[in-house]
Amino acid sequence: MDHLLAAVDLGSNSFRLVIGRVSDEAGAAQIYPVDRLKETVRLAAGLRPDKTLEPATVAFAIQVLERFGERLRSFHPDRVRAVATNTFRVARNVADILPQAEAALGFPIEVIAGREEARLIFTGVAHSLPPSAEKRLVVDIGGGSTEFIVGRRFEPLLMESLYMGCVSYSRQFFPDGIVDAHAMKQAELAARREVEVIARRFRETGWREAYGSSGTSKALGAILAESGFSPEGITRRGMDKLKDRLIKAGTVERAQLAGIKPDRMAVLPGGLAIMSALFDELGIDVMRTADGALRVGVLYDLLGREAPQDQRDETVRHFMLRYEIDTPQAARVRRAALQLFGQMVPDVPADLEELPRLLGWAADLHEAGLTIAHNSYHKHTAYVLENADMPGFSRPEQRLLAMLALGHLGKLGKMEGLCTRREHWLAILSLRLAAILFRRREPIPKLPLQASASGSSIVVNADAKWLRAHPLTDFTLRAEISEWRKVGFAFELLER
């Protein structure tokens, strides 16, 4: 089973690439890092007041991605996952930047939601620690956001993401690099206000051990240990000593701290203020550092997609319960949609090889909006699928699920501009036909339709006897002819 996987983490402070070798040991797959690249980009520092990224920062980011792209040039797209975090989430010009970034890297980039980032972080940390049945708190202070997770073994139980990070706080409260007592106090108060909102739920959930992952936590752990401020990890007492040293020195550079790396100097004050605040609000006594982080979680998530336990399957099952989906009906629609799609698209393009799986999940969830309102339920479904936190799914995947759900019912004119690939149109057609066939929510022993597609021509062959016995379905199928013609397809319904 040995092969290579690659994860690209486009954080608000650093861009990282890690390549891992997958090894099957006694039936259990493990990932061993074989190569790493890291570049300090400080993307969050390039955000202007109007929340757009300045051109110089974008240009440097593109250069870094070109270097990463060279290292990944021989990788199959299935073996690479690139994720972008908070700054990409908030930048208003991300739609202009993302195509440049993807072209430079050579692979799609997923702008992931805060809770998906938290889930992946916990996955990475959990795989780097000894097994334990106890609850663990994991905190990841990034450049633009901070993620909080309580979980047990490999399962996150409570997740949150707050819009505060070492780059953004250092820029806001220590803009000239000067560290004084007033600025540190203001930064801590601002962070405490953010953490206060989630603190009660996290304290009530409880945990046995606390771990910090990624740059800020590891930097603080190293500084406190090597400076003799805290020999047992990150502690309040150790951070108080570090704050006193910084305030007396006036700047991080003049403090001459042991254990600090040059690329952490500019963002240390903001990260320290956030860490102090969450210690106070969450009642943490000691925090240890963990090697695993987002990029490791991405690797294991990639590995999971190759195995039967794909996280996305679990998410869909959870959503089916949450939205009280009629599971027999969903299964009928799923089988028919996939069968029809397979008839029309026997050879799925390599860049769309996930499309059949996404069509299946869209069929599973196409009626989720019924729990909100029957009228225009497909619009409610589309909103849920695009905007909900769906662990394992990237934002582009959620948008595609939403598009399929939106298109499976009603006028097709609304899909123009949203649907740009022929295969996506045919996936929508497959779901529409399946929903039409099973409107009565009854099993059909043998599918009475066969579909084929060539270019912009669609031919649906229907069993004439079956159509005569089902006049409503006959009427609805014939109404599809004009709908598909409106969006540029020649649709024929033939009887056999």
Q: Residues with Cβ < 8 Å from 391, sequence gap 6 or more?
A: 115, 116, 119, 311, 312, 314, 315
Give exposure, 292-331, as e/b (b: 16+ Cβ within 10 Å).
bbbbbbbbbbbbbbeeeeebbbebbeebbeebebeeebbe
Q: Residue 324's pLDDT is what?
A: 93
N-terminal to C-terminal alpha carbon distance within the chain = 49
Is residue 134 domain-shared with residue 234, that is, in the same domain? yes
CATH number of the domain to which 53 belongs: 3.30.420.40
Domain end: 427, 445, 463, which one? Answer: 445
User: Does the residue 470 lie in any domain?
Assistant: no
CATH number at residue 343: 1.10.3210.10
* Coil, helix or strand at residue 408: coil
In a domain, residue 414? The reply is yes
pLDDT of residue 372: 92
Nearest to 135 by CA among 235, 200, 211: 211
Tokens of 2: 């040995």
Last-in-domain residue among 445, 462, 486: 445
DSSP 27-52: TEEEEEEEEEEEEE--GGGGB-TTS-
- Owning domain of residue 58: 3-112+297-302
Q: In what order do the strands lie in the sheet with 3-10?
A: 28-40, 14-25, 3-10, 80-84, 109-111
The overall average pLDDT reported for the chain is 92
Q: What is the mean pLDDT of each run of 10 residues along the chain (496 residues)?
A: 85 92 70 90 92 96 97 92 93 94 95 90 86 90 93 91 93 95 97 96 94 91 92 92 96 93 92 97 93 87 69 84 94 96 93 92 96 93 89 80 96 90 96 95 93 95 93 94 94 92
Q: What is the CATH number of the domain that holds 227?
A: 3.30.420.150
Question: How many independent structural domains does the chain possess?
Answer: 3
- Three-class SS of residue 292? coil
Report if residue 11 sits inside a domain: yes
Amino acid of residue 175: P
Gap between the Cα atoms of 109 and 89, Å rounded = 12
469 by Cβ neighbours in 10 Å (0-12 / 13-18 / 19+) ranks as exposed
For residues 20 and 128, the answer to whether their CB atoms sit within 8 Å is: no
> By the 8 A CB rule, do 167 and 44 touch?
yes
DSSP H helix total and E strand total for the chain: 19, 14
Asked if residue 219 and residue 192 are part of one domain, the reply reads: yes
Q: Are residues 208 and 288 in the same domain?
A: yes
**Which residues lie below 8 Å from residue 28, measured CB to CB, with a gap of 6+?**
none
Shared domain check, 361 and 283: no
C-alpha span between 61 and 150 (Å, rounded): 33
Would residue 286 count as lying in a domain? yes
Q: Are residues 155 and 287 in the same domain?
A: yes
The amino acid at residue 204 is E
CA dist 355 and 338 (Å) reads 10
Q: CA-to-CA distance for 383 and 369, rounded, in angstroms?
A: 9
| Cα 496 to Cα 478: distance, rounded to the nearest angstrom | 15
Distance CA 371, CA 322 (A): 9
Residues 131, 177 within the same domain: yes
Segment 189-222, tens digit of pLDDT: 999 999 999 999 999 999 999 999 988 999 999 9
Task: Give the predicted TM-score (pTM) of the model.
Answer: 0.69
Tell whether 87 and 138 lie within a shared domain.
no
Residues 303, 307, 312: CA angle, nearest 5 degrees: 85
pLDDT of residue 1: 45
Identify whether residues 52 and 194 lie together within a single domain.
no
| 61 in a structural domain | yes
H or E, element range at 434? helix 422-437
Looking at the structure, tell me whether residues 151 and 170 fall in a common domain.
yes
Reduce the DSSP state of residue 412 to 3 states and report it: coil
Residue showing tokens 């409106």: 486
Residue 23 lies in a domain: yes
Per-residue pLDDT, 390? 80
Instruction: Tell me, yes or no, whether 76 and 153 share the same domain.
Output: no
In the prediction, which pLDDT does 470 show? 93
Question: Does residue 437 sit in the same domain as residue 316?
Answer: yes
Q: Do residues 154 and 163 make contact, with C-beta atoms less than 8 angstroms apart?
A: no
Contact 105, 65 (CB under 8 A): yes
Which of 244, 268, 302 terminates a domain? The answer is: 302
CA dihedral 381, 387, 393, 398 (to 10 degrees): 60
Q: Return the percent helix, strand and coil in the chain, to nearest 5.
A: 55, 20, 25
What secondary structure letter does DSSP report for 77? G
In a domain, 453, yes or no: no
Residues 207 and 220 in one domain: yes
Residue 59 in tokens: 């240009």
Does some domain include residue 325? Answer: yes
Residue with tokens 């106090």: 185
